């Protein structure tokens, strides 16, 4: 239906136009608009149909119940991100510490998939996400990533942003400010050295932090601290909110895990995730586009 509406909209720009297109004269004496040539419309419609057919085929190939919905365009004006109520630390605003949040302010029915640590390195997962064109963000810990830096380089080459989840995944509030800074800044340096970009997003292990954590993160160049509102596993979901429902802009957490830890594979987890969000009318967006 979306393809048909897009083609119909474009077609109305050039009723009866020939090979070279036709002028459409607007009211009010403005300059005439040049309608696109019919061949351009045909080419665009063909590309739309081909893209949709590819998504249908990919959904079938990976065993999804429905074709995942296409995310809306990235917002031209980024939403203002603030710390969720109750998640502040002393002096949060006064010190200009990075916001800690679980949901991105948006009215669009879009959620964001984030994946932590780096333990499982499943090639089928990379193929599945590329085939389905589903965006996600990776928050990596070096003690696991260093087993195969190349796997995450391939992930980055496929358009995935790589972010900071500390060097060794400790419980940060138990550490001094200096040790927390070593964990966070150290991972900044690893990602920059291995992947050419210094992260600006950081997720504390277990979602635990204190003021020293956020001060250290800021000193290391972190601008945002996204947590999560839901967590998806192979066999179930967990929810932060009492209503146990998805909400526009929710951040969803999962982990790089396989059969050693779960009753299934990462593609199994993705299948559960996509079947649920699609059934509820949500698309999966790219978190970085909103920050």
DSSP state of 210: -
Model confidence band, residue 20 (pLDDT cutoffs 50, 70, 90)? very low
Nearest to 77 by CA among 113, 106, 110: 106
Euclidean distance between CA atoms 62 and 228, whole angstroms = 26
Model confidence band, residue 33 (pLDDT cutoffs 50, 70, 90)? low
DSSP state of 156: H
Domain boundaries, the chain: 1-11+36-61, 72-290
pLDDT digits (tens, 9 = 90+) for 134-169: 999 999 999 999 999 999 999 999 999 999 999 999
In this prediction, residue 44 carries a pLDDT of 79
| Residue found by looking up tokens 């594979």 in the block | 265
pLDDT digits (tens, 9 = 90+) for 88-131: 999 999 999 999 999 999 999 999 999 999 999 999 999 999 99
**Kindly report the CA angle at 132 between 44 and 291, in degrees rounded to 5?**
90
Crossing angle (nearest 10°) for helices 123-132 and 38-61: 150
Work out the average pLDDT over 199-227: 98
pLDDT digits (tens, 9 = 90+) for 57-81: 999 999 999 999 999 999 999 999 9
Q: Which CATH superfamily is domain 72-290 in?
A: Glycoside hydrolase/deacetylase (3.20.20.370)
């Amino acid at each position: 239906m979306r393809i048909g509406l897009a083609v119909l909209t474009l077609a109305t720009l050039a009723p009866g136009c020939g090979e070279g297109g036709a002028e459409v004269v607007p009211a009010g004496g403005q300059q005439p608009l040049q309608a696109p040539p019919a061949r351009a419309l045909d080419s665009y419609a063909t590309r739309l149909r081909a893209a949709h057919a590819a998504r249908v085929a990919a959904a079938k190939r990976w065993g999804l119940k429905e074709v995942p919905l296409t995310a809306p365009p990235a917002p031209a004006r980024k939403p203002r991100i603030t710390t969720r109520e109750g998640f502040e630390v002393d002096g949060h605003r006064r010190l200009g510490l990075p916001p800690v949040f679980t949901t991105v302010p948006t009215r669009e029915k879009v959620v964001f998939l984030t994946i932590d640590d780096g333990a499982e390195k499943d090639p089928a997962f990379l193929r599945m996400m590329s085939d389905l064109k589903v965006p996600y963000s990776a928050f990596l810990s070096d003690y696991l990533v260093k087993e195969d830096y190349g796997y995450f380089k391939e992930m980055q080459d496929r358009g995935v942003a790589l972010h900071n989840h500390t060097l060794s995944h400790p419980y940060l509030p138990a550490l001094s400010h200096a040790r927390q800074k070593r964990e966070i800044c150290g991972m900044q340096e690893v990602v920059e050295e291995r992947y050419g970009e210094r992260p600006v997003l950081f997720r504390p292990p277990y979602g635990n932090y204190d003021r020293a954590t956020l001060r250290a993160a800021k000193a290391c160049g972190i601008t945002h601290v996204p947590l999560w509102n839901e967590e998806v596993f192979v066999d179930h979901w967990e929810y932060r909110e009492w209503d146990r429902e998805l909400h526009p802009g929710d951040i969803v957490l999962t982990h790089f895990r396989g059969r050693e830890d779960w009753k299934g594979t990462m593609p199994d987890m993705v299948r559960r995730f996509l079947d649920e969000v699609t059934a509820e009318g949500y698309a999966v967006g790219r978190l970085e586009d909103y920050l």
